Amino acid sequence: MEGVNIADERKRFNALIQQEVQNSWYIPPGNEDRVVRLRLEILPTGELRSVELVEGSGSQQLDESAMSAVRRVDSFPTPDDSALFDELFRGGITIEFSPEE
């Protein structure tokens, strides 16, 4: 893990995870300007351990669709280095999802 910029790696993996979710997300019409914040716990294998709503969008339909999209992802990208995984994913990660992205 020497020489690794943790902030850059965190941004990179968050973007990869967001893309995986966006690819499987059906966005209910009329929710384009809303944001959902979710906390994901991901195992080193890339499997989802849990997902919880941190901050709702104000639309139950959108919140539920975002959580469903997270659950549909077969495997999330994770670093091969176990120390880097612990640094990035320990305690879960919080990501904002927006239909506009």
Q: Kindly report the CATH number assigned to the domain that includes residue 78.
A: 3.30.1150.10
Range of the domain at 75: 6-97
In a domain, 23, yes or no: yes
In a domain, 1, yes or no: no
pTM of the predicted model as reported, rounded to 2 decimal places: 0.89
Q: pLDDT band at 4, cuts 50/70/90?
A: confident
Q: How far is CA 26 from CA 41, 61, 82, in A?
A: 22, 10, 33
Q: How many domains does the chain have?
A: 1
Residue with structure tokens 């997902």? 51
In a domain, 80, yes or no: yes
Q: pLDDT for 43-98, tens place per residue?
A: 999 999 999 999 999 999 999 999 999 999 999 999 999 999 999 999 999 999 88
Q: Are 37 and 96 in contact (CB under 8 A)?
A: yes
- Distance of alpha carbon 68 from alpha carbon 65, whole angstroms: 5
